Structure 1
Amino acid sequence: MNVLIEENAAHPRLPALLTAYHLATEAEKGAAVTGPADLPAARRAEAEDPVTAFAADTVLLAAAPETGEAVGCLVLKAGPVPEVKRVWVEPDARGRGLAGALMGEALRRAAAAGAERVRLTVWEWRRGPLALYRKLGFEPAPSWDDRPGLLCLEKRLAPGDRVELLASDAVRRHAEGLAALLVDAVDGGASVGFPAPLEPAEAAAWWAGTAGTRDVWAAFGPDGAVTGAVTLVRAGTANGRHRGEIARLLVHRAARGRGLGRRLLAAAEAHAAATGLTLLVLDTQTDSPAERLYRGAGWTAAGTIPDYAADPSGVLRPTTLYYKLLAA
C-alpha cells in the first residue's frame, strides 16, 4: 500500500492528532482526563500551536490512501541525536502500515542528515509500537528518562550525505563536482537555465561565477562526491533587502530518494531567516516533481506563467511561481 507522507507542522489536522495522542497517553497512565482542557499545560500548548512547539523539528503526517486525509503523525526532534516523538495513528486507520511508513521516513531523513543514531522512548505497555520499533532495529539503550515504565531505545544508522555552506574558495574548489551535478540535471531534462547538451566546462564556469554573488550549499556523499546543491540569491535593490530567491536546487539522479532536496532547501531557508530575510521566492517548471517538495515544505503557489522557459530540448514550458514567508 502506498502511504503519502507529508512534512507540514501547519497541517490543519495536526492539532487534533496531537490532542488524541496526549489524551490517550494520559488515560493509559491513569490520569483523569476527559478532554483537552485536562491535559498538562505543556502538552496542551503543544497541541494548540504545533508550529511554535516544533519550530526546530520535523513534523510528518501520513494520509489514508482511500481519502487522502491525514490520520497519523510523527515528530522527529532535532538534536545531536534525533529523537522520534508523538507517533500516533488514529485507531480506525491502524493495521495498514501507516506507523511503519512514518517511522521509515523519519529514519531516512535522519540518515540523510548525517545522524549516527536515532532514539525514542516508549511506554512498556504499548506492545504494538514496541514490536514495531524492535522490528526496525531499535535496541535498549542507557536511560535518559527515568520515569517508571518508560523504555529508552536507540537505532544506529548508516552514514548519510553531508550538507555544507560553501565559502567562495570552496565553490571554486568543488566547481568540477558541482558542474557534474548541473550536467546531470540538464541531461535528466530539468529546466535549470541551460539547453542540452551542457558541456562540463560551461557548467564549471557558471559555478565559478557564482562565488561571492550568492550563497551556495552542497551535499557530499560518504565518498566525497557532490550529490546535491542549492543557491540563495539576495535581492540587490534597497527596497528588496528583506527578500531572497531560491535557485538551482539540484539533486543528482543517483542520490535521489534520500531526502537531500528537503535538507538542502531547509538549510537555505534556515540561513535566510537567520540572516534577516523574511520572504523567499522561487520558480519551477509546472507539474515537475519539485512542486511536491515545495508544497510539502510550506511554500505557496502564487501563479503560473505559460511558455516561461524552454526545457533542455528547447520546448517552451509553463512555470509556477512560489513564495514562503519566514518568521521574523
Structure 2
Amino acid sequence: MHTNPGIEESRHHPALPSLLAAYHLATEAEKGRPVAGPDELPERYRAEVTDPAGAFAGDTVLVAGPAEGCVVLTAGGELKRLWVAPQARGRGLATALVTEALRRAGERGTGSVRLSVWRWRADALALYRRLGFRPARPWDAREGLLSLEWRPGTAEVRRLTPGEVRERAAGGLAALLVDAVDGGASIGFLAPLEPAEAAAWWTEAAGVREVWAALDPRGRVLGAVTLARDGKANGRHRGEIARLVVHREARGQGIARRLLTAAEAHAAATGLTLLVLDTQTDSPAEHLYRATGWTPAGTIPDFAADPAGTLRPTTLYYKRLAP
C-alpha cells in the first residue's frame, strides 16, 4: 500500500542539502566517477548542495517528510533531482513527489514537463512511464541519457446520468475507489476495498447523488466527484461535495480541479448557495480546496480512520456560492 506523505514546498528546507548531496554522490558513483564527499563534487553540483535556495531560485522544490525525499520542478518546466532516501523507499514517496510536481505544473498551465534520466535507472524509468512520460527529442547529448516529456491529458469532464452511474458502477467507478483506497486516501472505506463493495456504493449513489466523471478519449474513468443535496426543509440551500478522487495514473493533469469546478458551477446554477465538505487534515486535497476558495471551519481530532484503520483528524470546509 502506498502512503500519502506530507510534502512541503521549500528551497530552504534544512534537509535539502543532505538530500541533494546524496543524489549527486549516488549519481557520480553510477557514472563510474565516485567521490568521497560533497566537497569533491563537480562545481555546479556543489553549488546546489551549498546553496539550494540560490541554485533553484524561482523553481519549485518539494521535500517529502522530515528528510525522506525531494524533487525540483524548474520554472522552465524541467523535472530534476528526484531522490528518495534508501531507508524511506518502498512507500510510494517517489510517486507522490512526481505526482505533486505534475499537479502543480498542470494547475499553473504548463504545456509540458520534460526530464532526462539515465538508462540504467530502471525503477525511475518505470515510474515516469507509468505516470505518462513519453520519449522526447533529446536536448542533452550526454551518452546514456534518455529524454522524456509529459503533457496534460485531454480528459472530458461531464455529469453522468443515474443510468450511466449504474452501468459504470462495477467497472471504472469501482476501480477508481479501489485505487484511491489502495493509495491511502481516506474516503470512508478500510483497506482492502473489495470491488463489489465499491460497486455497491456507486449503485446506491445513483439517483441520490449527482456524479461527475472525467473520461479519457477511450471512455475510461480517470476521476469522479459527487454532490449530495440536503433534503431537510431548512437545508435545501446547501449541498455536500464528497468522493473527489482521481486515479493515481491520471494525477497531475488538473483533473481534480476541473471536477470540483464542474460540480460547484452546477450547484450554483441550480440554486445552491452553500457547499460543505470534509477531508483528512494535512491530506494533499487540502491544498486544492484552499487554492479554490474553500474556507476551513475547524478540525475534529480522531474523526475517521484511514484505510489502515488509524484514527486521523478531519478538517471541515465550506464555500459560499454566488446566488
TM tier, smaller:
0.5 to 0.7
Match of 1:163 in 2: 157
- Root-mean-square deviation (CA), in Å? 2.8
Aligned counterpart for 2:217 among listed residues 219, 222, 230: 222
Q: 8 Å contact 2:279–2:315 — kept in the other structure? A: yes
Give 1:221 deviation, angstroms.
1.4
Match of 2:283 in 1: 288
Distance 1:171 1:286, change over 3 A: same
Aligned counterpart for 2:271 among listed residues 258, 267, 276: 276
Aligned mates of 1:103, 1:178 — CA distance in 2: 24
Q: After superposition, give the CA deviation of every residue in 1:110-169 in whole Å (9 maximum; x if it has no partner).
A: xxxxxxxxxxxxxxxxxxxxxxxxxxxxxxxxxxxxxxxxxxxxxxx9860011100100
Q: Relative contact order, CA 8 A, sep 6+: which one is greater?
A: 2
Distance 1:320 1:223, change over 3 A: same
- Kindly provide the amino acid, as one letter, of the partner of residue 105 in structure 1: R
Query: TM-score, with normalisation over the residues of structure 2?
Result: 0.55
Query: TM-score, with normalisation over the residues of structure 1?
Result: 0.54
Say yes or no: does 1:326 pair with 2:321: yes
Unpaired runs of 5+ residues, structure 2, are 1-7, 11-56, 61-73, 79-103, 113-150
Distance 1:284 1:203, change over 3 A: same
Identity %: 66
Give 1:198 deviation, angstroms.
0.6
1:47-62 pair list within 5 angstroms: none
Match of 1:242 in 2: 237
- Structure 1 runs of 4+ aligned residues shifted over 3 Å read 63-66, 96-104
Give 1:174 deviation, angstroms.
1.1
Distance 1:102 1:260, change over 3 A: closer
Distance 1:108 1:243, change over 3 A: farther
Distance 1:241 1:255, change over 3 A: same
Give 1:105 deviation, angstroms.
2.8
Distance 1:253 1:326, change over 3 A: same
Aligned counterpart for 1:251 among listed residues 246, 250, 260: 246
Q: 8 Å contact 1:278–1:325 — kept in the other structure? A: yes
Match of 1:179 in 2: 174
Where 2:312 maps in the other structure, the secondary structure is: strand
Aligned mates of 2:236, 2:320 — CA distance in 1: 14
Q: After superposition, give the CA deviation of every residue in 1:281-304 in whole Å (9 maximum; x if it has no partner).
A: 000000000000000000000000
Distance 1:99 1:305, change over 3 A: same
Unpaired runs of 5+ residues, structure 1, are 5-62, 67-95, 110-156
- Kindly provide the amino acid, as one letter, of the partner of residue 196 in structure 1: A
Distance 1:258 1:281, change over 3 A: same
Aligned mates of 1:249, 1:305 — CA distance in 2: 20
Distance 1:97 1:192, change over 3 A: closer
1:92-171 pair list within 5 angstroms: 97=75, 105-107=108-110, 160-171=154-165
Aligned mates of 2:251, 2:182 — CA distance in 1: 15
